[in-house]
Structure 1
Amino acid sequence: MNAQTLLSLPQRGDTVLVQINQHNGKTFANFRKWYPDGEALKPTKQGVTIPLNALPELHKALGAFLATIDPAALTSR
């Protein structure tokens, strides 16, 4: 399975990608910073890989956090 990109966020000349990919027959979510190398993007060591079965818990935690903040805080960068 090729990596499936769910989200791509430009950040100070680099790009943060959220991808779903496989390694050794297991599927993971990969949140990683990538840097441009000519026309291609290459991964950095900055990131985290999360097992797919942990994503519902992450989703729940993010939802709980978002419920506690002012929506206007989401527009500032």
Structure 2
Amino acid sequence: KVEAKAHEAFVSSLLTHGKGAAFHVLPDSGLLGPFETRTVEVTAYTDMWGEYKDNLVCKVGDLEPVRLPV
């Protein structure tokens, strides 16, 4: 029950901007070695129904940022 309340508080804090949706990305930063791959988990939270579109911007070193639609 404590975990559920903590999760509810976490989600509520993500949605405080009043836009109806928020995305949480893990990890949100890190190191990427040569030829290495990493899995990034993107979780969407909403408090309003509808269709949401956004971009995940990936930045690696001095390379040009890549926008991934989510």
Q: TM-score, normalised by structure 2?
A: 0.23
By percentage of residues, which structure has more strand?
1
Q: TM-score, normalised by structure 1?
A: 0.22
